[in-house]
Structure 1
Amino acid sequence: MALRMGVERNATSDLVVRAPEGASPRAADPRPAPSPQPRSPRFVGRESELRDVLDALAPGRPAALVVVEGEAGVGKSRLVREALTHREVRSAGGVLTAVCPPFREAPTFGPLIDAVRDGRPQGPAGLGLSPLAGVLRPLLPEWAEDLLPAPEPLTDPGAARHRLLRALAELLDRLAVRVLVIEDLHWADDATLDFLLFLTTRPTRTIHLVLTYRPEDLPADSLLPRLTSRQAAGAPHTRLALRPLGVADTAELVSSMLDDDHVSEAFSTFLHARTDGLPLALEESVHLLRDRADLVRREDEWVRHALADIAVPPTIRDAVAERVARLDPDARTVLEAAAVLGEPASEELLFAVAGLPADRARPAADAAVRCGLLTDGPYGRLAFRHALPAQAVYDGLTARNRGRLHGRAGTALEAEPQPSPIRLTHHFRCAGDTGRWLTHGEGAADLALAAGDQSAAAALVHDLLTIPRLPAQDIVRLVRKVPLHTYGRFHNRDEVVRTLRDCLTGEDLLVRDRAGIHMQLGRILHAAGELRASQQEFGWAIDGLVDDPAQAARAMILLGIPTDSPLPVTEHLRWLDRAEELINRAIPAEKRLFYVVSWSTALLQLGEETGWQPAGGFLLDEDRVAPGDVVQLNRGLLNSGACAMSWGRYADARRLLTCALDQASRHRIPGQHMMTAANLVHLDWFQGRWDDYPTRVDALAESEDDPRFLAEKLLLHGLYDLAAGDSRIAEERLGTALDEGLRGGDLLLQAEPAGALGRLRLTAGDVGGALAATDRVTGTLTAKGLWVFGAELMPVRTEALLAAGRADEAERLTEAFSRGTRGRAIPAAAAGALVCRALLAEAHGPAARAADAWADAAAAWRALPRPYEALLAAAREALCRIASGASDQGIAQLHGVRRALDTLGARSEADRVAAALRARGEAAPVVWRGGRRGYGDRLSPRETEVVRLLLNGLTNREIAAALSRSPKTVAAQLKSAMRKSGVTTRTALAVSAAKAGLTPDPVTHPKA
């Protein structure tokens, strides 16, 4: 939050701070009295919010979740501190406060572990912890002697994480924690957020959670927003969005810093205008005015010099820099050391980083405390009172000085009894000490793995792999530590891939080491959606994995997944047969589930009935399932459900996917929850459940880390756009989805968008465009002999070939498709083959035979059920009936089809059927289904509200706060507005709205 600069000259008006009424007058003194040392401000302007927090934490109330959000310096921490000092909160039991440090390398459960360690220095003796607590040994090594041995490691990362979460919850219970405060949650590691999600969904939770964060610094993929939607039934939830103070509260805060003297309206208005009422900015401004001697006493009142004499600094950073510059060099050095450390530190550590002897450092620290920048914290530690001044001091350091101080910090921390590898990694990386960065970064990755945090371990290893000129033996050792693809954000994927490929060019690698790097590289590419390239790496890896059957089996399964590589289906099946043999021979029974799920999924994607055999086992009663198998069983449900949908077994698909969604929600498996929800929306498309469909697609969680998921959302939107007649935006979305599928070689993302894009172009009369859209994917499926994906593509390709006069090719394709699906229980492909035959019958005649063929196709689609395709086939049947002379029957059928299409929401096809009726002299009035009338391509009133606030420059979160809607609803309404306006970005929507005459909302709405 910036202080605003630029004041008009007004040499005649002083700003005054008057003495309170009734005070005894002082003798006039021509010399200005020295300004007072400002005190810490009183708690002002937050009485309502404080009552809300106290009500939530009141004794006897169910365990509450209190979330306090606001920009830096707005007073979140002060509000929490005030609440914790109240008697009714203290009487509720123990309070544990954790603060997330602003490190790029966030330590696994770091804030919680530090808080526990500080709050329980005597260790775990007497807590009565169960054997489960043994898993805490890697996190609390100084407690190891008093903890029971760690349980046997679990191979499944999700199960290991779940066990660790249970152990942490037990530890808090034994510590009698009743209020857990976590500040600056925008800097939290994923493991800590996972733990909070775990706590909030425990039906027996007794711990109040109080969380603070800055919305503007919250990562886009943070788990924090899910906390508000995962509350156990009956658990109270309080969400507070703090905003800057008004003018009156500004005056009260400043007065409290100046011996409660009255602050004139002119002075308070001046400060409020230049700080926007941000408490931290106000506090810094008063300190700065005092340091400059701008506050002087004349006669009986405090006076500030004329406005023309002083220019308020433009930012808090400038204000802090000016205050620091007024301190002596030793005090400045202490502040710089504190800023580099970034968290509360003991005097010994702080003085070591500052490089000052105690006799000089202690007075310097005292001066930094007196000036209000540093504060004495718990356990005798010193830290900045606020994060913004700390960042201001840190940003003011030169790169050389910053690196030198980080090096000192790392060296000093190394000498501590139990140094934190993640902190050492941070400091030595910032210091540019690559040797010690590698050493401690690897130790931090080991610690994260021991804690079950694979994502954090992978992130650390990724960074280490980018160290310039890293020796090959170090690369080999690092890639063996952790499956790198588990790191979703992958902020340096390209650099890591380049490092691994450069390493493979070396001549001194052992065969086993070379295979390990190929395997890791393949898995990274596979996770990135580059399936074709990944399979090349797996093929190169297998010969060197003879001593690692688990990795070899995994590579074979991944080679069995159908992509648009030249491998035919028979070759994919050969790899899966080898994998099955290896799994049964070399993988222990208790560890086979992961491989069985992957193996069966690949078989189902190839259209092999044997892939269904394990599916029943995925529906086992959860009471009979080991905790470590929950994630894999749920993956089996998700994958089997998705394959059932591809096959056209829609009842099975809904049963499996609904069960998967429920379990993913209850067991907090976010990635599987996201993908399952998307599959259910896709299933709704097939089955004609189109009510509010675009909004439901928009509401699917975003995942910028998974390009395939984004392509799936584009496909779902594009299918609806096509049916609704929005051809231009449908072309854009379907084309982008197809490009993504073609880029990565993912056949699941090729056939359906290619078929939909071809249908769109056929409807527009662009036969050449339809052939171009379907050519490559058809060639792949035909060459591989893979027909399970043909339902969406082959009918469109057949129709395009017939329209182009290539009937012989259409007949050969139809025959191959029919032969490939014959005898297989793949209902969708079978229905698609019937459509191809009906198209040929229509092209060759007679019309009556074609009508019967279309009737067979329509019946097959209805049996699935798939109403949209069934209605399209029924419309073609009706037209053929009319052509055969059965006009009355055909006309009546067309009327029925038209009404059904309109009811479904397929406006484009309904209009075409209506046009066909009118061409035959039939009346075809606009049909209204009843209820609220739609707005067509016009913005609804609620969408208009959102767009007008967008024109004001508000973010989605700010719009949501202004309109009392959820950010997800606002996002969906903006997406709908973009769709109607034919644009794909917020900027383009704003331009389109302005051109259409829409104006910004004249009301000033508060920001979230």
Structure 2
Amino acid sequence: MLYGRSTAQASVRSLITVARDGRSGALTLRGEPGIGKSALLAWAADEASEAGLRLLRVTGIEGEAELAFAGLVQLLWPVQDRIDALPAAQAGALRAVLGSGQAGGHDRFLMGLAVLTLLADLADDGPILCLVDDAHWLDQATTDALLFAARRLAEEGIAILFAAREEGFAAPGIPEIPLSRLDDADAALLVAEHGLALALRDQVIAESAGNPLALIEFAAAQRGHPIGPVPLPIADRVLATFRAQISRLPERTRLMMVIAAAEGRGHLPTLLGAAAALGVGPGDLAEAETAQLLRVDGNTVTFRHPLIASAAYQGAVLARRVAVHQALADAAHDPDSRIRHLAAATMGQDEEVAAELVQAAERARHRTAYATAAGWYQQAAQFTSVSRNRAAWLGTAASLAFTAGHADRAGDLAEQAEQLADGPEAVAELPPVRAAVEFELGEPRRAARLLIERAAHAHPDQAAAMLRTSAGYAWFCGDADSIRTAARMCADIGRPDLMVTGMAHLVDDDYARGLPVLAELVAQGRSADGAARARAIFTGMLIGDDAATLQLATAEVVRCREQGLIAALPQLLQDLAGAQIRVGHHRDAEATVAEAVAIAEDTGLHHRVVRLNSTLARVAAIEGDEQRCRRLAVEMPDAGGAGSHGALILLALGLGDYEAAIDRFEEARQGPGRHTTVIMAAAPDHVEAAVRLGQPERAEQSLRRFEAWAEAGRQSWARAVALRCRALLGDDEEPYERALRLHAQANRPFERARTELLYGEWLRRVRRRSDARHPLRSAMETFERLRAATWAERARTELRATGETVAVARPTAANLLDRLTPQELQVVRLAADGGTSREIAAALFLSPRTVEHHLYKAYPKLGIASRRELSRLDLSAS
């Protein structure tokens, strides 16, 4: 009987019902030790069994918290026969964890995708409940995998129920039920079940403060004392009660309990091996079993409650604990368990122990358990007396912690490593980690300058990479001095870099030299991959080469999906979304950003989420959604404010607030982000605002600068826009005609429509109303397709002024894709290209059943009923 848990039981029962009905969900039960989490999980197991759900279980074990994927092995061992049916990369990752395959250095989140796919396959045979007890003691690699899977549950028939203490298990995105202490009425009912004399019940209830375990144990301690209250154990209350029980056992039994507690995993063969070395044996566990402090089932020893193990271990003197760990190290059956106990048994510095810890770290690294590997390296640094090794291992720990998504911890470790290093060369590899942390935490200027400072002491090859990264960080925050310094230093060390050199020219407004250099880098990136392609994507954005950026970013995203390189995707998807917006694929961009946000949250890049969402500020500006645009733009983290200024300038222009558009542009032009492509591309907005205010002279300088940039860059869209601006300042038709011919060679539909609108307005003003209708009609249709409501209304008004009757468009019917959610859109596109549900699931990190669900929901919105009909639809981007 569970008392005081009706709310939690209702939530768990709902979770089970959802899974039984073919949908999915996850829930965390959270509370202090002894609050009844395990009891609720036991009740949930009974409920699920009655409902026909299959049970999978894992219990976090404190002694295994440093053993990579120990929890995952426990959970998946009974179903490993289903692994062969998974996609090859996912199957390989799980085989490496379960010991039947080679470790391959996969992306750490590929494991989470593999778990999701495996559970979904199992759910095809019937609904599943995964029970995860003591989740706060799971190893980090298992935690990452389970949470990745849990957050992507949708329509599989899977329920995951976690139970954890208040600290030690962060699970953002998973609903939680806090378990409170029992009130006096429920506490009295619970105590009454344990036969305690009435005279003692109130005292037990008061001392236990509503903790169910305390109620039970205090009642048991007082049973048999019917006359008057007896002082209850104090100190740590329940822990003290367990210590008192243990203290009454024979010495040999207490030693066996210390061995079992120190071993941690309940592995009887290892426990008995250590026991033999210490002169005790299995018979010495009998009295602990009789006292119901632990039980032995087959080859497993299990404490009735984790606090009993804590009481047994903490109650032993240091010398005994050291002897026990040494015996366990000698008896261990695997190297990771051996080094865990050996480290616990070593009281001072020991180079052999440090070397074994490094080996354990490398094993964890190759299995993608980067957080575990960071912990092993950090321990190794504590055991070595060689300062250079200590600094190097702390530096490696920092890098691994950052890869694991723990930016704050990575920064602390890197700082410790720098303080210990003897000489600048010894710390050359640390600044990239510290700088990456600073950048992710929203400090790009500090990151750039840190790298420049440290590059002066690094090997030329390392320095060149650091300076390139520094220039990239500096570009984002408008730190022109750092970009110039990076370029000069690259030249000084004989490692000139195209990207750094090009950016240095751009911040000095030397477009004729800078843009061709950057264009060369983009061209090289078309035949490159990895880091070189990523640089080409970034450079393509700098020079406004939409076609190259879209092509390269799309190819790199596909490569990362195929290889399961999940952690690399947030930045690539952000780049892709920017390119999609520029070519008018707004709905695709929203889907891309939504996916990137979900992955960023999973990979620990929480500061990137705001930056990702802010990518869509320009879409909001085009659509005239003032509230959304201002919210996204204000939250932009770029120090120079270039991105926010660009969106807000366009918003003001579209809303007809020309003075605000000019003020915003002139503020941005004086700021540190003046050299950025975003501000450069806003110059035409400045020109148009000034002309509409009747103050064209205010924009002449902006136009000359933009014309020089457009001419040097040779991008058709930019040259077209420059001609449009020149036409606005004059009274000649020829620039408009030339601009439209150039627009036909590019793919920026919003800019083309703006040129058509202005051209149509000019034609109407010179009384060529019939000629004006074609460009105005084309502009209106494009604006409507882009949901640019204020711009569409302006074109519509001009068309009416030519004498044409114009019906008000219904935007919901303008494009089939507008009817889909972002994830439905992604699924539909891949399905239309011929992808199977399993292939789509692997690409989007979903389960196949969730893919089928999205297709099922999308078909009616598209007016179709099958994949065959889907292939016939025109799903080209808006």
Q: TM-score range by the shorter chain?
A: 0.5 to 0.7
Q: Report the CA distance shift for 1:208/1:751 in structure 2 as closer, same or farther (over 3 A).
A: closer
Question: Among 202, 210, 226, which residue is 2:173 paired with?
Answer: 226
- The residue that corresponds to 2:239 in the other structure is 317
Question: Among 338, 344, 356, which residue is 2:266 paired with?
Answer: 344
Q: Report the CA distance shift for 1:751/1:778 in structure 2 as closer, same or farther (over 3 A).
A: farther
- Write the distance in 1 (CA, Å) between the matches of 2:111 and 2:383: 29
SS in 2 for 1:376: strand
Q: Report the CA distance shift for 1:553/1:322 in structure 2 as closer, same or farther (over 3 A).
A: same
Note if contact 2:26-2:160 (Cα within 8 Å) is conserved in structure 1: yes
**Structure 2 residue 486 is matched with structure 1 residue 575:** no
Query: How far did residue 358 of structure 1 move?
Result: 1.9
Query: How far did residue 135 of structure 1 move?
Result: 3.2
Query: How far did residue 609 of structure 1 move?
Result: 2.2
Question: Among 189, 194, 214, which residue is 1:257 paired with?
Answer: 194
Note if contact 1:53-1:83 (Cα within 8 Å) is conserved in structure 2: yes
Code of the residue aligned with 1:556 in structure 2: it is R
Q: What do the CA deviations read for 1:285-315 (whole angstroms, capped 9, x no partner)?
A: 123324xxxx33xxxxxx24147x7687673
Query: How far did residue 282 of structure 1 move?
Result: 0.5
**Structure 2 residue 98 is matched with structure 1 residue 140:** yes
Q: What do the CA deviations read for 1:205-252 (whole angstroms, capped 9, x no partner)?
A: 3554332223x2255xx3x23245xxxxxxxxxx75543334444334
Q: Report the CA distance shift for 1:104/1:644 in structure 2 as closer, same or farther (over 3 A).
A: farther
SS in 2 for 1:545: helix
- The residue that corresponds to 1:716 in the other structure is 634
**Structure 2 residue 281 is matched with structure 1 residue 381:** no
Q: Report the CA distance shift for 1:267/1:448 in structure 2 as closer, same or farther (over 3 A).
A: same
- Write the distance in 1 (CA, Å) between the matches of 2:558 and 2:93: 23
- Write the distance in 2 (CA, Å) between the matches of 1:485 and 1:818: 40
Q: Structure 1, unaligned stretches of length 5 or more?
A: 1-41, 142-146, 229-238, 297-302, 698-712, 720-736, 756-769, 797-809, 839-862, 866-903, 905-1008
Note if contact 1:245-1:277 (Cα within 8 Å) is conserved in structure 2: yes
- The residue that corresponds to 1:272 in the other structure is 205
Q: Report the CA distance shift for 1:522/1:562 in structure 2 as closer, same or farther (over 3 A).
A: closer
Code of the residue aligned with 1:305 in structure 2: it is G
SS in 2 for 1:531: helix
Q: What do the CA deviations read for 1:409-447 (whole angstroms, capped 9, x no partner)?
A: 265145322243597179539855554553343233323
Question: Among 613, 616, 636, which residue is 2:548 paired with?
Answer: 613
- The residue that corresponds to 2:532 in the other structure is 595
Q: Report the CA distance shift for 1:667/1:347 in structure 2 as closer, same or farther (over 3 A).
A: same
- The residue that corresponds to 1:205 in the other structure is 156
- The residue that corresponds to 2:138 in the other structure is 188
**Structure 2 residue 47 is matched with structure 1 residue 114:** no
**Structure 2 residue 368 is matched with structure 1 residue 452:** yes
Question: Among 101, 104, 117, which residue is 2:61 paired with?
Answer: 101
Note if contact 2:27-2:162 (Cα within 8 Å) is conserved in structure 1: yes
Q: Report the CA distance shift for 1:536/1:553 in structure 2 as closer, same or farther (over 3 A).
A: closer
Q: Report the CA distance shift for 1:494/1:162 in structure 2 as closer, same or farther (over 3 A).
A: closer
Note if contact 1:285-1:319 (Cα within 8 Å) is conserved in structure 2: yes
Note if contact 1:424-1:437 (Cα within 8 Å) is conserved in structure 2: no
- The residue that corresponds to 1:74 in the other structure is 35
Q: What do the CA deviations read for 1:820-861 (whole angstroms, capped 9, x no partner)?
A: 766578999x999x99xx9xxxxxxxxxxxxxxxxxxxxxxx
SS in 1 for 2:191: helix
- Write the distance in 2 (CA, Å) between the matches of 1:588 and 1:460: 40
- Write the distance in 1 (CA, Å) between the matches of 2:67 and 2:49: 34
Q: Report the CA distance shift for 1:347/1:249 in structure 2 as closer, same or farther (over 3 A).
A: farther
Superposition pairs of residues 948-987 of structure 1, within 5 angstroms: none
The RMSD of aligned alpha carbons is 6.1
- The residue that corresponds to 1:367 in the other structure is 287
Taking only the aligned residue pairs, the percentage that are identical comes to 16
Superposition pairs of residues 986-1001 of structure 1, within 5 angstroms: none
SS in 1 for 2:130: strand
- Write the distance in 1 (CA, Å) between the matches of 2:420 and 2:56: 47
TM-score scaled to structure 2, two decimals?
0.60
- Write the distance in 2 (CA, Å) between the matches of 1:113 and 1:675: 36
Query: How far did residue 638 of structure 1 move?
Result: 0.6
- Write the distance in 1 (CA, Å) between the matches of 2:430 and 2:599: 36
Note if contact 1:642-1:653 (Cα within 8 Å) is conserved in structure 2: no
**Structure 2 residue 474 is matched with structure 1 residue 562:** yes
Query: How far did residue 77 of structure 1 move?
Result: 0.8
Q: Report the CA distance shift for 1:369/1:583 in structure 2 as closer, same or farther (over 3 A).
A: farther
- Write the distance in 2 (CA, Å) between the matches of 1:320 and 1:251: 22
SS in 1 for 2:358: helix
Question: Among 411, 414, 418, which residue is 1:501 paired with?
Answer: 418
- Write the distance in 2 (CA, Å) between the matches of 1:330 and 1:474: 40
Q: What do the CA deviations read for 1:972-996 (whole angstroms, capped 9, x no partner)?
A: xxxxxxxxxxxxxxxxxxxxxxxxx
- Write the distance in 2 (CA, Å) between the matches of 1:351 and 1:210: 35
Superposition pairs of residues 802-841 of structure 1, within 5 angstroms: none
Note if contact 2:550-2:580 (Cα within 8 Å) is conserved in structure 1: no
Note if contact 1:106-1:189 (Cα within 8 Å) is conserved in structure 2: yes
Query: How far did residue 592 of structure 1 move?
Result: 0.7
Q: Report the CA distance shift for 1:752/1:384 in structure 2 as closer, same or farther (over 3 A).
A: farther
Question: Among 461, 465, 477, which residue is 1:545 paired with?
Answer: 461
Whichever structure has more helix as a proportion of its residues is: 2
- Write the distance in 1 (CA, Å) between the matches of 2:123 and 2:342: 32
- Write the distance in 2 (CA, Å) between the matches of 1:66 and 1:779: 47
Q: What do the CA deviations read for 1:359-397 (whole angstroms, capped 9, x no partner)?
A: 5x743x33334444x321544433432234444555566
Q: Structure 2, unaligned stretches of length 5 or more?
A: 488-496, 503-516, 650-662, 687-697, 729-749, 753-789, 791-878
- The residue that corresponds to 1:428 in the other structure is 344
- Write the distance in 2 (CA, Å) between the matches of 1:499 and 1:227: 34
Note if contact 1:340-1:394 (Cα within 8 Å) is conserved in structure 2: yes
Code of the residue aligned with 2:156 in structure 1: it is R
- Write the distance in 1 (CA, Å) between the matches of 2:522 and 2:391: 29
TM-score scaled to structure 1, two decimals?
0.53
Note if contact 2:395-2:429 (Cα within 8 Å) is conserved in structure 1: yes
Q: What do the CA deviations read for 1:308-352 (whole angstroms, capped 9, x no partner)?
A: x76876733343444444445444444444444444342752783
Superposition pairs of residues 916-931 of structure 1, within 5 angstroms: none
- The residue that corresponds to 1:287 in the other structure is 220
Superposition pairs of residues 400-439 of structure 1, within 5 angstroms: 401-402=317-318, 405=321, 408-409=324-325, 412-413=328-329, 415-420=331-336, 424=340, 427-428=343-344, 434-435=350-351, 438-439=354-355
- Write the distance in 2 (CA, Å) between the matches of 1:411 and 1:579: 63
- Write the distance in 2 (CA, Å) between the matches of 1:248 and 1:403: 46
- The residue that corresponds to 1:627 in the other structure is 562
Query: How far did residue 582 of structure 1 move?
Result: 9.2
Q: Number of aligned residue pairs: give it.
A: 678
- Write the distance in 2 (CA, Å) between the matches of 1:583 and 1:790: 19
Q: What do the CA deviations read for 1:486-534 (whole angstroms, capped 9, x no partner)?
A: 2432455455334543576449x7xxx8765565565555555432234
- The residue that corresponds to 1:488 in the other structure is 405
SS in 1 for 2:58: strand
Q: Report the CA distance shift for 1:691/1:655 in structure 2 as closer, same or farther (over 3 A).
A: same
SS in 2 for 1:67: strand
Code of the residue aligned with 1:346 in structure 2: it is L
SS in 2 for 1:157: coil
Q: Report the CA distance shift for 1:565/1:516 in structure 2 as closer, same or farther (over 3 A).
A: same
Superposition pairs of residues 865-884 of structure 1, within 5 angstroms: none
Larger mean CA deviation between 281-290 and 613-622 belongs to: 613-622
- The residue that corresponds to 2:801 in the other structure is none
Q: Report the CA distance shift for 1:213/1:633 in structure 2 as closer, same or farther (over 3 A).
A: closer
